[in-house]
Amino acid sequence: MNTIYVFPVTPHPMGDCTYRAVAEDGEDLAAQVSSSEDWGRRDLGVEGEVSQYYKDKYTAKYPHGYQVEYVPDWRTNPALVKLLPTENTPTAD
């Protein structure tokens, strides 16, 4: 099964945070600013039903199925560390 990784990138004032969804090959599939970690997970389909907008993007990439995996810190996930080039790596610091 193909994996789509969802992770927080940058916190914003007032608790908002930018999240990314990245395919196994490093392709960016989605970015979303959400009001909290809970909403970020829901918005990009980690929990509950993914929105039709993101479902279409995910299905276009992986028409035969996929799983969405939440990664709280991309720096601790070996697959993401390998995929994301250092000059473009997101930072949550």
Number of domains in the chain: 1
Position 39 in a domain: yes
| Domain presence at residue 93 | no
The tens digit of pLDDT for each residue in 1-18 reads 999 999 988 766 666 888
What is the structure's pLDDT at 93? 46
Q: Read off the pLDDT of residues 82-93 as tens digits, 9 standing for 90 and up.
A: 888 654 555 544
Q: Which domain holds residue 71?
A: 2-84
Per the prediction, the chain carries an average pLDDT of 85
Decide if 92 is inside a domain.
no
pLDDT in tens, 8-56: 887 666 668 889 999 999 999 999 888 877 888 888 988 888 888 999 9
pTM of the shown model: 0.83
- CA count, 13 A, side-chain hemisphere, 16: 7
8 A C-beta contact, residue 4 and residue 23: yes
Q: Is residue 90 domain-resident?
A: no
